[in-house]
Structure 1
Amino acid sequence: MTPVQLDVQAQESPQNPCLVVTPTHKIFSATAPIASCQPHEVKIHIKSTGICGTDIHYWKHGRVGDLALEKNLILGHETAGQIVQVGSAVRKSLKVGDRVAIEPQVPCGECYLCMDGHYNLCQSVSFLGVPPTNGSMQRYLCTDARFVHIIPDNMSYEEGALVEVFSVAWHGIRKAGGITPGKPCMVAGCGPIGLATLMIADVAGAYPIVATDISEERLGFAKTLVPSLRTYCSDTSLSIHENAMKIRSLFGNSEYVMPPVVLECTGVASSINTSCYVVRRNGIVTILGVSCKNELDGFPFMPLSFGEVDIRFINRYADSWPAVINLISSGKLDASKLVSHRFSLEEATKAFECVVDPTRPSIKVMIVDN
C-alpha cells in the first residue's frame, strides 16, 4: 500500500475530507489528495469508519507501544465502503459498485511469518491508521485488493466496519481454544472488544459467561446482548485477589466449575492480574486488550507457575473476515447493537470528542459519509 503523502490544511469545501492527528496531540478536519489507484489496488468510497481505542491512544498519547506518531496522520481502520475504481492488475472478482469491508493490514507476503500463515505478525505490515500509513477517515481510499471482502446486501456499511472489531474477538477466541458448549468462561472488560468477545463466546456455546467491568452501565448493556450473562462490577477498594474471589463465586463453589478460559479485553494491569487469579489451574488467560505500557505491574508469576496456567496474546487477526461476515449476515451476531453514536465525516472531530466525554457514554461511535 502506498501511503498518501499528507500535506493538509483546513478548507471549507474539501474534495477528500479527512481527520488528522498530529504528534502534538491535535486533531482537526482537513483535505487530503485523492490517491491514484495502483494496478493491484481498488479505490473505495469510505462509507463507515468506527473510532477505536487505538485511535484515541494516538490522539492522547501519540503512540501505541513502540508505534509512535512522528508526523501528521489520517486515522481510522475499522471501515467499509463501496468500490469506485478497480486497478488493472486486480485478479480478484471485484468490480465497481461492490460493497466491501476492508481488512486494514497489508503484510509483505514474503517473510517466514507470512509464508507460515501468520501474516498478522508480519513486521513489515502496512496497517491503516498506524504510522506511517494513513487510515480510512477520509472519503476516498486506495488499498490492496487482496484484503477487500465483499459484504452481502443484508449487511449495512456500519456492520461491515464492525467486522474489524469482531475479528479481534474471533481471533482471540480461536487463539484461546477451550471455548466449547457448556464450558464456562470469563470476559474482562465491556468495551467494544469485550462486548464483541462475549457475543461470539455466547454463539460458540460457552456457559456460564461472567463479564466484568468498572461500569455498572456497561455491564447492564452487556446483559441486553447476552441475557444469560452473569456480571461483576469490579470494586477498586478491594485487592486484586479479593475481587477475583468474588468473581469466582459467580461460577460456583468448586474448582471444577471455575473458568478454564479467561478472555482479558482491557489491557489494564489490575484487570489482567485479577484474571490470573480467576482462571482455574491448567487454564488459559488470553489477552486481547491493548495497553500503552510495555511492562505490567504486579504480574502474579508464582500462582500462574504453580497452576501451569497458559498466558496467551493476540496481535490483530488473520483469516477472520469471511467467518465474521458469515456470522453477522446470518443474524447470529447483531453487530449493529454496538453502534451508539453517528457523526458525518465533516464532524469527525466532534465524534472523537464524544468518545472521550464522560458525560456522553458511548459504545461504538461511527463516522459516516453517504
Structure 2
Amino acid sequence: MAPSVLIDQAVDSSVPVAAKSLNNKIIKASHPNPSLQVTADHKLKSVDAPVYAPGRGEVLVHIKATGICGSDIHFWKTGRIGSLVFEGDCIIGHEASGIVLQCGEGVNHLKAGDRVAVEPGVPCEECFLCDEGRYNLCEDVHFAGVYPYAGTIQRYKVHPAKWLHKLPDNVSFAEGALLEPLSVVMHGVKTAGLSLGRGVVVCGAGPIGLIALAAARASGAHPIVITDLEPSRLAFAKDFVPSCITYQVDLTKDAQGNAQAIRALFGDSEYVAPDTVLECTGVESSVCTATYTARRGGTVMVIGVGKAIMNNLPFMHISLAEIDLRFINRYRDTWPPAIACLSGGILDLKKLVSHVFPLEKADDALHLCADTRNESIKVLVVDEQEASL
C-alpha cells in the first residue's frame, strides 16, 4: 500500500503519519474525537485525535464498541509482541463495530447509516499470499491498533470499505465487537478440523478459550474439557457451556502429570483420549501439557499468543506420537460466517461481556482488564454519542 499523504497541512503530530488515511484531509466534525493511545514508553494517553475524510474506497465510521484484547494490554505493558513493536505512540483497539457516517468515491455496497463490523487487517492484495487467498499471512498488512496503524478506540475512524461487514439488525454493536475474537477461534477450529462426537480439550478459560468452548460445543465435539488455573473462570465456563467438564491446572504437577489427569476425564482407553486440543493461552507450560494430552496421532492447535521463543517443547514425544502441532495467524474469510453464527443463534456470546466503559474512560477499561483480581471476561469501550459530521 502507498504511504499516506495529507492534503491538509494542519497535522496532529501525536498520530503517526502511516496511521493516517490515504490522500485524505482533516475534516471538522460536530464532536471531538477522543482516543486512547499506547505510548512508546509504555503509558496510556488520552488524545483528541484528528478526523479524516474518507478517500477512494474508504469509509468514515463512528466506532460504537471496541473490545479490549490481551494484545492491547501486552503492547501497553511490554511494547511488543514478537516482531510487532511499538516504536511510537499509536491509538490502540481492533475488536470493533460502528455506524457508517460517510463513504468515499467508489464505495457502492455501503451507505451512511449502515451498521458494520470492522475487520481490522488490511492486506496489500499484491503479494503471492494475497493472490492465493491467504491474506492473513500478508507481510505488509496494515492492522488497526498495531503501530503505526491507528486503532478503533476513538470516535471516528477511516477504514477501507472492503474490510467492513454489514451487521444484521439482530446483532448488536457489542456482539459486532466480539466478531474479531470469534474469527480467531473460527480460523483455529476450521484448521484443527473438529469432528462430531470426538473429544476436545480447551486450554484456558479466557475470552478466546470460552469462545472456543462454545464453538467446539456447536461443532458437535464431545466430550469437552476446559482447563484453567482460576476456579472462578472455570465456574464461569461451566455456567456458559453446562455440558463441559472443568479441570483446574495443578501447579504441583508437571506437564505430563496434568495431561494424565486431564486424559483420565475421558476414560481409560487410548481410543477415547482427546483427538484435538485447542490451546488458547500461548503459555509454554500449557502448550507442553497440550502435546501430552492429545491422543497419539491427534492435533494440538495453538490459538493463543505466547513468547517469541519456546525452548522446552517435548520434541521426541511430539515426533513419536505424530502429534500434529499446528498454529494460526489471525484469520481469513471468517466475518460472514461469524456474523451468520450470531445472527442465526448458533452461538450466543453476550454473556462474555463483563464490563462496559464509556469512550472517555477507555484508560480505566485497560487498567481494569490488566488486573486479574477484577475477574473480567470481555471488557468493552462504547460510545453512546450520536456523532455526526
TM-score range, shorter chain: over 0.9
Distance (whole Å) between structure 1 residues aligned to residue 338 and residue 31 of structure 2? 34
> What amino acid is aligned across from residue 247 of structure 1 in structure 2?
I
- Tell whether the 8 Å contact from 2:58 to 2:161 is kept in structure 1 after alignment: yes
**Cα distance change on mapping 1:120 and 1:345 into 2, 3 Å:** same
**Which residue, 320, 334, 348 being the options, matches 1:320?**
334
What is the correspondence of 1:232-311 to structure 2 with a 5 Å cutoff? 232-291=247-306, 293-311=307-325
Matching of residue 26 in structure 1 with residue 43 in structure 2: yes
Alignment match, 2:174: 158
Asked if structure 2 preserves the Cα contact closer than 8 Å seen for 1:265 and 1:289, the reply is yes
* Alpha-carbon offset, residue 259 of structure 1: 1.0
Which of 362, 365, 376 is the matching residue for 1:362?
376
Match of 1:126 among 131, 142, 165: 142
For residues 152 and 226 of structure 1, the distance between their equivalents in structure 2, rounded to whole angstroms, comes to 25
Deviation at 1:6, TM superposition (A): 5.4
What corresponds to 1:342 in structure 2? 356
What is the distance in 1 between the residues matched to 2:371 and 2:85? 24
1:7 counterpart letter in structure 2 = S
**Cα pair 2:89 2:147 within 8 Å, conserved:** no
AA partner of residue 32 (structure 1) = A
Aligned partner of residue 359 in structure 1, secondary structure:
helix
Structure 2: distance between partners of 1:133 and 1:6? 15
Residues 190 and 211 of structure 1 are in contact (CA less than 8 Å); yes or no, is this contact kept in structure 2? yes
**Are 2:125 and 2:135, in contact at CA under 8 Å, matched by a contact in 1?**
yes
How far apart, CA to CA, are the structure 2 residues paired with 1:42 and 1:298? Answer: 47
Q: Percent identity?
A: 50
The answer to whether the aligner puts 1:90 opposite 2:107 as a matched pair is yes
Which ranges of 4 or more aligned residues in structure 1 deviate by more than 4 Å?
1-6
- Cα distance, 1:14 vs structure 2: 7.2
Q: Please list the CA deviations of residues 150-180 of structure 1 after superposition, one character each: whole Å capped at 9, or x if unmatched.
A: 0111111000010001000000000111x12
- The 3 A distance-change label for structure 1 pair 188 and 344 is same
- Give the letter aligned to residue 107 of structure 1: P
8 Å CA contact retained: 1:211, 1:231: yes
The answer for the alignment partner of 2:24 in structure 1 is none
Aligned pairs, number: 364
Alignment-derived partner of residue 21 in structure 2: none
Rounded to whole Å, the distance in 2 between the matches of 1:191 and 1:83 is 31
Distance 2:318 2:37 in 1: 43
User: 1:62 corresponds to which residue?
Assistant: 79
> Is the CA contact 1:6–1:73 (under 8 Å) kept in the aligned structure 2?
no
Amino acid at match of 1:65: G
The answer to whether the Cα contact below 8 Å between 1:8 and 1:31 also exists between their aligned partners in 2 is no
Question: Structure 2: which 5+ runs fail to align?
Answer: 16-29, 385-389
Q: Distance between the aligned counterparts of 1:331 and 1:308, measured in 2?
A: 37
Distance in 1 separating the partners of 2:13 and 2:269: 61
TM-score of the two chains, using structure 1 as the length reference: 0.96
1:193-232, aligned counterparts within 5 Å? 193-232=208-247
Aligned equivalents of 1:322 and 1:298: distance in 2? Answer: 39
Match of 1:7 among 3, 10, 13: 13
Output the TM-score relative to the length of structure 2: 0.91
Partner SS for 2:373: coil
Paired residue secondary structure (2:42): coil
Distance 2:233 2:98 in 1: 29
Partner of 1:191: 206
Partner of 2:380, secondary structure, is strand
2-side partners of 1:274 and 1:194: how far apart?
16
Deviations 1:240-265 (A, max 9, x none): 11111000001111100011111100
